[in-house]
């Protein structure tokens, strides 16, 4: 098994893409720590994954992120799959909502790197961006800027943290609970419209994104890369 004996930490690992990545890593023999904000979702994930360490933590809270890594002597791989989708125009959105985007996806990333890197001698850190980084929509200016920043910091951190490898996965529209939570009753219409445009006529699954994350964990020659898994969505 590709990750036999490796310790993998998944931030946002209780649901969606993070859970799918944790499940694949577990199947490949990894020891797991998964963190998330919901005790109930973590408990459900633990029931499905088996013997894994779970910890309640909000990625935007530095002290909470630090606690995720306390008690772990060595970390081999880290996956960050946490972060909500917050939409709304900059001119009339609540500033707290806009700050939340930065807190989760930039400061949260920073907290994780600062806590994880001292416990790593090699291995990988994988970030998650999103298709809005290069294809913004109305009302996504702040989220677009922040996702593009995640992609921009990737090669810089790959140099700074070497030999730890740093990569980013950029998913397109993926069928996860986050999609339902964000768009509610508009979800089905949005998905149908997007599927009609995509070359494969369907949106992606969390498992398909997780497969890319597994490849980045196990391919020791991949670093500084931003990999798109969007069904060709950025071309149509």
Whether 234 maps to a domain, the answer reads: no
3-state SS assignment for residue 226: strand
Average pLDDT, the chain: 95
* CATH number of the domain enclosing 70: 3.40.50.720
The H or E element spanning position 36 is strand 31-36
Measure Cα distances from 184 to 42, 178, 187, 191, 201 in Å: 23, 10, 6, 12, 22
Q: How many CB atoms lie within 10 A of CB 233?
A: 21
Lowest mean pLDDT across 31-35, 43-47, 57-61, 182-186: 182-186
Looking at residues 76-82, what average pLDDT do you find? Answer: 97
44 part of a folded domain = yes
Instruction: Report the pLDDT value the prediction gives residue 229, as an integer from 0 to 100.
Output: 97
Q: Is residue 56 part of a domain?
A: yes
The predicted pLDDT at position 71 comes to: 85
The per-residue pLDDT for range 99-114, each reduced to its tens digit, is: 999 999 999 999 999 9
Per-residue pLDDT band at 157 (split at 50, 70, 90): very high
Percent of the chain with pLDDT over 70: 100
pLDDT score at 121 = 98
Mean pLDDT of 162-169: 98
DSSP type of residue 225? -
How many domains does the structure of the chain reveal? Answer: 1
β-pairing verdict for 124-128 and 204-205? unpaired
Residue 174 sits at φ, ψ, to 5 deg, of -125, 140
Query: At a CB cut-off of 8 Å and minimum separation 6, what does 18 contact?
Result: 10, 11, 12, 34, 36, 79, 81, 82
What pLDDT band is residue 216 in, cutting at 50, 70 and 90?
very high
Which residue range(s) make up the domain with 217? 7-177+206-228
Q: Is residue 190 in some structural domain? A: no
What does the pLDDT read at residue 84? 85
């Amino acid at each position: 098994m590709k990750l036999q004996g490796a310790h993998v930490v998944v931030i946002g690992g209780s649901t969606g893409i993070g859970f799918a990545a944790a499940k694949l890593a577990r199947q490949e023999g990894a020891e797991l720590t998964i963190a998330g904000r919901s005790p109930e979702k973590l408990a459900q994930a633990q029931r499905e994954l088996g013997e894994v360490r779970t910890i309640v933590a909000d990625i935007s809270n530095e002290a909470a992120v630090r606690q995720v890594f306390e008690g772990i002597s060595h970390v081999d791989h880290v996956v960050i799959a946490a972060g909500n989708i917050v939409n709304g125009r900059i001119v009339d959105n609540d500033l707290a909502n806009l700050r939340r985007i930065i807190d989760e996806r930039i400061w949260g990333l920073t907290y994780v790197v600062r806590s994880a890197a001292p416990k790593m001698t090699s291995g990988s850190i994988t970030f998650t961006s999103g298709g809005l980084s290069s294809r913004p929509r109305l009302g996504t200016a702040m989220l677009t800027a922040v996702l593009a920043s995640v992609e921009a910091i990737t090669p810089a951190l790959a140099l700074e943290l070497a030999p730890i490898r740093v990569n980013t996965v950029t998913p397109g529209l993926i069928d996860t609970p986050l999609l339902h939570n964000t768009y509610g009753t508009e979800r089905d219409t949005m998905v149908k419209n997007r599927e009609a445009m995509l070359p494969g006529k369907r949106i992606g699954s969390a498992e398909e994104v997780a497969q890319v994350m597994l490849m980045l964990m196990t391919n020791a020659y991949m670093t500084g890369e931003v990999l798109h898994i969007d069904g060709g969505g950025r071309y149509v």
